[in-house]
Structure 1
């Protein structure tokens, strides 16, 4: 839990050219996360149960802006930009998810939090899965939202069926050396906009301002390089995941959050081979970007998940969130 007597040491914004949106009731912080400056947005109940949120490609912490106020009434809420994302530093490091997870956990500890629930979407869920394997004694629970996690829920081969290929084609494209940078530099808005429109159930989920925000983050000072690096280091992420899973299973309670029109049909079923306690829900009327498309449902699911874990002897062993 957060220790109110310990004030975190904070630093300046390393991505000053990128506009910084504010969220009422929340404060921007930058912390030294084991040598990498990470941006965190913190609010809610000081000293309350801590819930840490991670977003994925091509988004930033802003992906959780509609969920965070609903969680803030009960919990200490922290949304963190991953290395290379949003207003976090874009370091020249390995972007395999175990390396990144160490920096994320260091950021949480720098904010005075020792135990927490972790909820993550897309690439953020890649990092969260690896973090749970390494820092399981610090986690109370793990919620994973619609993510093809390397070596876990990501298929071994990219499908060629047009009905499925459009969901995962970019995994191969991002692996090609140099070509994505050549084609995308200066066209980040068009590229980011395609994902935000094509992967939502309703193509008008994101307005122009939101699209510009995410595109600017990718374009800013090494953001494109870092975004691609997560995919280029995915094979190393998968290798380290399996190496860790040879020694132990995922022991923290896991909630898989899928959606009616998402990329991974059943997150819970995909995670169960690796986890002792995995349950799931399917959020209706949503595509891949579930926190943007159905924020009330996500907030309710996370609240139930944390509340259950706080009960004496509480766990997610029994399926309290059945599939419809």
Structure 2
């Protein structure tokens, strides 16, 4: 197995640490000012001990657990074991429920597994950073896929799930038949595409500070959930499910630890392009990811498609599930159908061309016959007959 992932340069590492210190100081000053101005604002966290009913409902699929090398993973499975496996990898801050609109339509044709990443949802949540090193995460996903009794799968990843998916397809290319990338550029494009003034850039530097980001995420009754999932209304049961799943400090430590490691990793420049089919999807109103970065990501893929979901932001599979699901199913089945259609169309086209040429040759031969009869002694060098045999032997149907 080739190692396709490497650490960023020492200079880039130093820049991240400097900026993380500056943003950390800025947040501390801001929080201190808010504490003086409005002390209750930072401490109005609602206690959530009872899970919402949608997290206990098994209508989407069966809730299962598997323990791999001492780590328990939770996942929701639907469909039948005889169908190809589709592995759903959620984003940040999210968990298996983020695929609630895709599981019902996929389970009709595939074996669907929506995984809770380590640190998210009902999966184990170790606190130390060493548990979230990218090589360890990728190895666990590989072991998880094999624990399901399959040798390959289709991966659909959103945001963080897509970012991890990029690294995974480089590290274990034989395990991925097709890769759907939602709202996430190639890792080597992603980090460089962020503007220094963007909230995402500032947050990615801020989370390198220990402890403080987890505490900050809980402020104002987990307001960060409302900001990320702004497509959900205030009374939406799913919004409450997200707040329940991210209502404790330890609910944030694991998810943030992913970015504490991934920020320092890149794909080696000498790595070969991805040979599996890659479908890059982005919402037309995504303010976190630019379309340009998605287009540039296609340079790392041998076979790719780029699709834009209208009237959708950073969560197109949730914001416009109807259009997204249509595209999803189209490219799930496209390869087989397109190849057959192309083959049939190609044969029909060659037959038409050959038929047209044949008619032209017949007309030409008739003209030549008439000319030769009328000008036997005048024109002696005209060809006697045009032949179609050579043309037919060189056209492969």
The normalised TM-score by structure 1 is 0.79
Cα displacement string for residues 121-157 of structure 1 (whole angstroms, at most 9, x for unaligned residues): 0101111111111111111100000025543333355
Shift of 1:187: 4.7
Shift of 1:25: 4.9
Name 2:210's counterpart in structure 1: 177
Q: Give yes or no for contact 1:189–1:216 (8 Å, CA) kept in 2.
A: no
Shift of 1:18: 5.5
Q: Which runs of 5+ in 2 are unaligned?
A: 1-48, 341-397
Cα displacement string for residues 44-100 of structure 1 (whole angstroms, at most 9, x for unaligned residues): 233112111111111111000011101111111111111111111112334243431
Q: Give yes or no for contact 1:90–1:221 (8 Å, CA) kept in 2.
A: no
User: Would you say 1:276 and 2:302 are equivalent positions?
Assistant: yes
Alpha-carbon distance in structure 2 between the residues aligned to 1:150 and 1:96: 15
Match of 1:300 among 326, 329, 347: 326
Name 1:57's counterpart in structure 2: 92
User: Would you say 1:45 and 2:80 are equivalent positions?
Assistant: yes
**Matched ranges for 1:137-148 at <5 A:** 137-148=174-185
Change (3 A) 1:188 1:223: farther
Match of 1:226 among 248, 254, 257: 254
Cα displacement string for residues 217-276 of structure 1 (whole angstroms, at most 9, x for unaligned residues): 2234722111211111123332xxx23x52322221100001111132336413222221
Name 1:121's counterpart in structure 2: 158
Q: Give yes or no for contact 1:98–1:127 (8 Å, CA) kept in 2.
A: no
Alpha-carbon distance in structure 1 between the residues aligned to 2:152 and 2:312: 31
Q: Give yes or no for contact 2:77–2:113 (8 Å, CA) kept in 1.
A: yes
Structure (1 or 2) with the larger CA radius of gyration: 2
Alpha-carbon distance in structure 1 between the residues aligned to 2:125 and 2:263: 21
Structure 1 stretches of 4+ with a deviation exceeding 6 A read none
Name 1:285's counterpart in structure 2: 311
SS of residue paired to 1:86 = coil
SS of residue paired to 1:213 = helix
SS of residue paired to 2:104 = helix
SS of residue paired to 2:114 = strand
Change (3 A) 1:34 1:251: farther
Q: Which runs of 5+ in 1 are unaligned?
A: 1-15, 315-324
SS of residue paired to 2:302 = coil
Name 2:148's counterpart in structure 1: 111
Shift of 1:170: 2.2
Alpha-carbon distance in structure 2 between the residues aligned to 1:189 and 1:221: 11
User: Would you say 1:80 and 2:104 are equivalent positions?
Assistant: no
Alpha-carbon distance in structure 1 between the residues aligned to 2:58 and 2:336: 27
User: How many residue pairs get matched?
Assistant: 286
Could you say which structure has the higher helix fraction?
A: 2
